[in-house]
Amino acid sequence: MALDRTLPGIQTLKHVVVLMMENRSFDHMLGALKATHPNIDGLTGNESNPDTTGAQVKVQPLAEYQSQLDPDPNHHFAAVNLQIFNNTQHGPPLPPTMQGFIASYFNQQQNTAHSHDILYYFTPDKLPVLTTLATQYATFNRWFASIPGPTICNRAFAHYGTSFGQVSMDVFYEGKPFQAIYNRLLAANHTCKLFYYDEASSTMEVVNLLQNQPSLFGTFQDFLNACKQSALPDYCFIEPNYTDHPAPDGSGEAIACDQHPDHDVRAGEQFIAQVYNAIRTNPNLWPNTAILLVYDEHGGIYDHVPPPACPPDTPFIAQPADTGTLDSFAFDRLGVRVPAILISPWVAAGTVINDVFDHASIPATVSDFFQLPNAPRSQRETNANTFLNNLTLTTMRADNECPSFVVQPANS
Amino acid sequence: MDPISVPAPPRSAYNPNRRVSDLLYSQLQHFQHIEKKRGDLGIDPAIAANIHTEGGAAIYIAAVTNALRGTTSNSALPVPATTAAKKSAPPRKAPKKSTQKSTRKR
């Protein structure tokens, strides 16, 4: 659907900020909201998977911040096949039953009791930032990972609109036909930046953008400074801290805030709040900035919604040697559903979006909004839905109608 | 609407001794690929060898990232050259206080 440029929120909009977190499924983080917000497609409490004894195990609100999903649940292509189709070797035409999550996690430790943890989900009180943003702005009921696979190929869709045929972590794009959204923006005289947390965490775009265009990057502190100075680039992509490490500037401990298992989820909550606060508290930015908070993939954690088919990413096909299954993959179906929230004072509280999105929607939306000149784009990006039409309000929400967060210091 | 308090994780959540995940392993491989390809980044071999924990990996990642970006700011301060493979990077003392506001530094 074409962007309605008569919307006041679109006429005001100047900046788009994308924050991409790590490895949590929709139901794991937001599924409990269905009890109080029935239009959010979360959990009823009756969803289940069989364990390896044949017992049906129900989802439970027992997710913990840390130490529960260790080892890291497998989320490579074959494991995700098992999770979705209950079969490691074949996908469609098998039905996507979402019945293989416990079986997949059991494979890692052969521990029946521990394998049940993959069905655990958070109660809203444990995730005050994420659940407040979800209920106070717009929640996507159907935002899926771009590929039923791991991080780097999924993140590639956010940058390029494709992974150039890769379903793994080894994504090398040199000499490939489609340019990153950053190159397209720069060519059209727009400003843009990828903000990694710090140089010790750096980026997952190592072999491509960091190697070839290091000037595209800044740190999270640079992002905060840009917000403070009302000097935000037109488009910003933010990466969280991927490791626990001593801060490179010597100021203390930098705790991982990506929410990747087994990192503490609370650190990610604080990080999300910091990004939000930096924009929300600046009256020069808040009216004219849209924030997309999204997770890169489900991390092997249970979700109940079968991923849909999508137009193939012609001409790319991953061969069985790459998928680790007996099937090739034409990038013609999406990965598991992830949390995604659109934040803007022009979005009505309690909005729920039911159209299908994936990370190719990010460059598609940015290209559309900034009216970038036509450039070669992947089939997946060409066919992806865009999301800024959800800035539907005719009047901006008042300050006291928008939530604010107070980030508490660590003290024990 | 009242401000919402966002609690911090306990200090015990911080563990630079944690072994690198599959994701970090891939990120490290990509940095190693670049280091090998460039061949002139001047990364201390001791730093390049000590990448089995998050803390150790972070030191290597910072070194290569700074080399790629040509950074010479406080973010390029010398990092510990030696830490045993299965030990964390030791807590570091700042030569000087950062003038910038800490984000999630504790």
pLDDT tens, residue by residue, A189-225: 999 999 999 999 999 999 889 998 999 999 999 999 9
The helix/strand/coil state of A236 is strand
Q: Does B95 touch chain A (CB under 8 A)?
A: yes
Structure confidence at residue A207 (pLDDT): 87
Q: Which residue has the tokens 């000037």?
A: A215
pLDDT above 60 (res B90): no
Q: Answer whether A31's CB lies under 8 Å from A121's CB.
A: yes
pLDDT above 50 (res B39): yes
- A-chain CB neighbours of B79 within 8 Å are 248
Contact A251 B92 (CB under 8 A): no
Q: Tell me which DSSP letter residue A23 carries.
A: S
Residue A348 identity: A
Q: What is the ipTM of this complex?
A: 0.94
Structure confidence at residue A389 (pLDDT): 97
Measured distance CA(A159)–CA(A161) in Å, rounded? 6
Q: Answer whether A272's CB lies under 8 Å from A241's CB.
A: no
Distance from CA of A411 to the nearest CA of B (A): 7
Residue A399 identity: D
Angstrom CA distances, A170 to A42, A89, A94, stand at 33, 21, 28
Measured in whole angstroms, how far is the alpha carbon of residue A215 from the centre of its chain? Answer: 24
Strands A15-21 and A253-254, how do they pair?
unpaired
Distance from CA of A189 to the nearest CA of B (A): 22
pLDDT tens, residue by residue, A147-175: 999 999 999 999 999 999 999 877 677 66
- A-chain CB neighbours of B71 within 8 Å are 199
Considering only CB atoms, B6 lies closest to which of A65, A128, A250, namely A128
Considering only CB atoms, A249 lies closest to which of B14, B58, B74, namely B74
* B24, B28, B61, B74: best to mutate for the A interface, most A CBs within 10 A: B61
Distance from CA of B13 to the nearest CA of A (A): 6
Most distant CA atoms of chain A, gap in Å: 60
pLDDT above 60 (res A15): yes
Mean pLDDT is lowest, of A70-74, A388-392, B102-106, for B102-106
Considering only CB atoms, B6 lies closest to which of A150, A248, A269, namely A269
Contact A256 B54 (CB under 8 A): yes
- B-chain CB neighbours of A401 within 8 Å are 1
Structure confidence at residue A371 (pLDDT): 98
pTM of this structure: 0.93
The ranges assigned to domains in chain A are 8-32+124-393
Mean pLDDT of chain A: 96
Structure confidence at residue B87 (pLDDT): 29
Mean pLDDT of A332-347: 98
Q: Tell me which DSSP letter residue A102 carries.
A: H
Contact A206 B34 (CB under 8 A): yes
Q: What is A8-32+124-393's CATH number, 3.40.50.150, 3.40.720.10, 3.90.1300.10, 3.40.50.1820?
A: 3.40.720.10
Structure confidence at residue A150 (pLDDT): 95
Q: Tell me which DSSP letter residue A215 carries.
A: G
Chain B residue at shortest CA distance from A250: B94
pLDDT tens, residue by residue, A61-76: 999 999 999 999 999 9
Mean pLDDT is lowest, of A234-238, B7-11, B80-84, for B80-84
